[in-house]
Chains A and B, each alone.
Chain A
Amino acid sequence: MAAATEAAQRGASVVVFDESPAPGGQVYRAPPAGYAMPADPDRLEGDALRAALAASGAVVKTGHRVWGVGGGPLVPLGEDAAPFRIDALAPDGSNSVTEARALVLATGTHERIIPFPGWTLPGVLGLAAATILLKANGVLPGRRVVVAGAGPLLYAVAAKVAKAGATVAAVVDLAATSEWLAALPALMARPDLLTRGAAWRASLTLKGVPILPAHRIVAAEGDKVLRRVRVAPLGGGEERVIDCDALTIGHGLVPATEATRAFRAAHRYEATAGGWVPVLDEDRRTSIARLYACGDGSGVRGAAAAPASGRLAALAALRDLGLIDSTTHATARSAPAANFARAARAGGAMARMMALRPALVAAIPPDTIICRCEGVTRAQIEAAVTDGATAMNQVKQFTRCGMGPCQGRMCGEAAAELVAAKVGGREKAGFATGRVPLRPVAMDALLGDFDYADIPVPRPAPI
């Protein structure tokens, strides 16, 4: 929203694509049409961003699933870079193709859930997923909820569930109390967040919610659906069983880099930014000309830092397109650059808290499913490495891990960590090549109505 607003306000012709019914992403998500719910700070911030976007003149295409990207550097050898191409499915199911001279990616993150026995049971839900359920839909994940994982979302979700009248059976925090204390200095820059966090914790304490620091979920159990979880201290120790009808669990956020990977942009692995991220300059330029990345999708630094990074990306794009001069650019970028640095400090501390914990991956039992789409277990992934696979693309071939409809988004982190442990690090394990479609696309929508004669069948090979 911020990038589009900045660019459109400065006279660029801008189009925004978003899969949701309204702009806002996950944190600043708008309530569905016809809903009225008490506003929280995120909603107010989101409403302000939405209003600015609406007034900016940018064309906003919501409900559009972007399934393809192309153009730019993806042209035959020797040809000049082409305009970027965006293939999107509109809400009515029709396909649209849009071209642009510059492309800003603000793709956000998806959740990292390190697998454990029973994580495939209905009733186990992501932590960010629970936030969407609670905030955007006003629906509780269950009547008796265990909230588990890492990062500030733990306490936000637990407080919201408790406030709505459901039981929080426990908060199972991977972080030790000392880790939260260590993050405090960085959070001092954001007293608003600090206050909110303290209020969440206080409300839970008041309701007598058990908070278990340095604990993990050992297993989720139930027949057809979740009935209970087993939890244990991280360093080992006695397990306890907690009955519940919902487990919300998240182990941090992973930048959604499928588009930058499809463009073959340079990436680097930075655990404290969420994993593989595009290599960027300080104005959010990727290694590909006129391709920019901003927000958590380019490295987790939190929602507060995202709008500033979006403005930086937009300004760099305008400068590179010659729509503003270097003086204007230098002046305009100073405020968002400073805002980004400030917000990223607190965001970075939270991102570190949510970084992948190798010990959690090491604790996965051999027969636990890692790849849900294809049913691939830890043992199968490790067997592929024993059989000679050395990197993620090869593990994918040997096991089908990551070949299913989610394209490795859910299993990729745990699988890569398992491979990394054997081959000597995430850089060596690499990542699966980005492929179109970026999301599964219904053939029906793609095909449209056609006659056989319309299919441009190429010339056959000689007999």
Chain B
Amino acid sequence: MTAPYDVAVIGAGVMGCSTALHLARAGMKVVLLDRGEICREASGVNAGTLTMQMTRAALIPYALRAHAMWMRMGEWCDGGHVQAVDCPGLSVAFTEHEVAMLEERAHFRRQAGAPIEIVSTARAREIEPGLSDKALLAGHCPIDGFTSAYLTGRAFRPALLNAGVDLRERCAVRGVQPGFSIDTEEGEIRATRLVLAGGVWLQDMAAWLGITLPIKVLINQLVVTERLPPVMRTVLGVASGLLSLKQYANGTVLIGGGWQGIGDRQRGGLAVKPDSFLGNVRLAAHTIPALRDARVVRSWLGLEAETADALPAIGPIPGVADAWIIGSVHSGYTSGPYMGKLLAQAICGQAPELPLFPIDRLLAKDQAA
């Protein structure tokens, strides 16, 4: 039997990696477990958008700090990086209804600290010459950007190993006993503390501890074009939040926005829905007309977790000493590295820089603390 760890983190996505890294750097002996490979689920297949204009207002303070972390990832992650690009973001309205939505949402986000200003179409097209002249109004946020999310696992891995984290990939956990005894495919692992960081699988993980935590699964669709000459230079969205569009340095344009495909927790992302596929690319081409000339190369799906109130689950697990949970953060990739840092502060007994999101509110009365 292995010597007990100070903490076992289950789930090696961006939340689990950041939590594990910060805990190890605080001096803890950490084991990080994943049934698959590091950042191969949502953390490695998402759109890499670091926008404030799709982030829930309550999460803006977190997202702003995380944006800065992503941009300087090499400095705190032993050189590991995700090719983060710092650029302005625009959120566009095409109808009067969307204009109202844009202004309302920009107001709330501005109150939460995002420096969003409403600009005319003419001004928006100075910022983004590729933008359609059909736009009526736009929200402009100078703090925006994107990463190549597929590099996330490769970026975190060396830093985790350098910090002494025992990274165990392809090591599925079958169950957990308080104390903690973790039943894995490679045998029992014992740890003093437990962190559940399992994305859409948090519902199953919480059940190991007898906790009923309903987690809704979103099956987010992404579409990518082949390499194109430059057609845009910002992160573009629409007022409703159902488009995210950016062009990478290699020329490919990534089209997202959370259109739903077919899939589930058990089987993963299975297939795009034809209507969603077409709707998403039409919305993209309506926004950046030059995309009409592109070829679509690939589409895929990523699973996003959502709690009943669509706010995060980050904090202690009520009724189970030394057990913690982190996940279900809307636009979770954007805020991910900062959320892990906060949870690590709490686990180490410090007061986190910003409040956590305890899950008592999400549990039935008899389970809440």
Contacts and interface: CB of A to CB of B under 8 A. Distances in A.
B154 A437 contact: no
Interface stretch (B23-31, B68-76, B275-283): B275-283
B157 interface: yes
A75 interface: yes
A68 interface: yes
Contacts of B259: 458
Interface string A61-93: 000000010100011110000000101000000
Interface stretch (B3-11, B176-184, B261-269, B343-351): B261-269
Nearest to B80: A387
A443 B298 contact: no
A16 interface: no
**Interface class of chain B by DSSP:** mixed
Interface residues of B, number: 64
The 3 residue pairs across chains A and B that have the minimum distance between CB atoms: A74-B271, A460-B240, A397-B150
A400 B295 CA distance: 18
Contact of B270 (A264, A393, A398): A264
A457 B310 contact: no
Contacts of A407: 297-298
A384 interface: yes
A418 to B, nearest CB: 17
Contacts of B279: 455-457
A400 B252 CA distance: 12
A391 interface: yes
Given A387-B158, A397-B44, A446-B278, A457 B283 contact: yes
Nearest to B255: A443
A76 B271 CA distance: 10
Given A397-B151, A447-B285, A437 B240 contact: no
B361 interface: no
Contact of A456 (B134, B250, B275, B292): B275
B215 interface: no
Interface of A: 68, 70, 74-77, 85, 87, 97, 262, 264, 384, 387-391, 393-394, 396-398, 400, 403-405, 407, 433, 435-437, 440-444, 446-447, 450, 452, 454-463
Contacts of B104: 463
A74 B44 CA distance: 23
Contacts of A404: 226-227, 297
Nearest to A72: B271
Contacts of A446: 278, 281, 296
Given A436-B271, A437-B299, A457-B240, 18 more contacts: A70-B274, A74-B262, A264-B267, A388-B37, A388-B153, A390-B170, A394-B37, A400-B150, A403-B297, A437-B296, A437-B298, A442-B294, A442-B295, A443-B281, A446-B281, A452-B94, A457-B238, A461-B241
A117 B54 CA distance: 47
B95 A463 contact: no
Contacts of B330: 461
B225 A387 contact: no
22 contacts: A70-B271, A262-B271, A264-B270, A388-B37, A388-B154, A389-B154, A397-B44, A400-B250, A404-B227, A405-B295, A407-B298, A435-B298, A435-B299, A435-B300, A437-B296, A440-B297, A447-B281, A452-B134, A452-B286, A458-B242, A461-B330, A463-B108
Nearest to A390: B37
Contacts of A450: 282, 286
B169 interface: yes
B328 interface: no
Contact of A403 (B56, B262, B264, B298): B298
A447 to B, nearest CB: 6
Contacts of B270: 74, 264
B260 A458 contact: yes
Interface of B: 37-38, 40, 44, 54, 56-57, 94-95, 101, 104-105, 108-109, 134, 150-151, 153-154, 157-158, 169-170, 225-227, 238-242, 250, 258-260, 262, 264, 266-267, 270-272, 274-275, 277-279, 281-283, 285-286, 291-300, 310, 330
B242 A444 contact: no
Contacts of A463: 56-57, 104-105, 108-109
A455 B258 contact: no
A393 B295 CA distance: 22
Contacts of B291: 443
Given A388-B154, A463-B56, A452 B95 contact: yes
A460 B241 contact: yes
Contacts of A443: 225, 281, 285, 291-296
A131 to B, nearest CB: 27
B211 to A, nearest CB: 23
A310 B221 CA distance: 35
A444 B170 CA distance: 42
Contact of A440 (B37, B226, B266, B278): B226
A162 B237 CA distance: 60
Most chain-A CB neighbours within 10 Å: which of B101, B108, B238, B241?
B241
B37 A461 contact: no
A436 B281 CA distance: 14
A461 B101 CA distance: 12
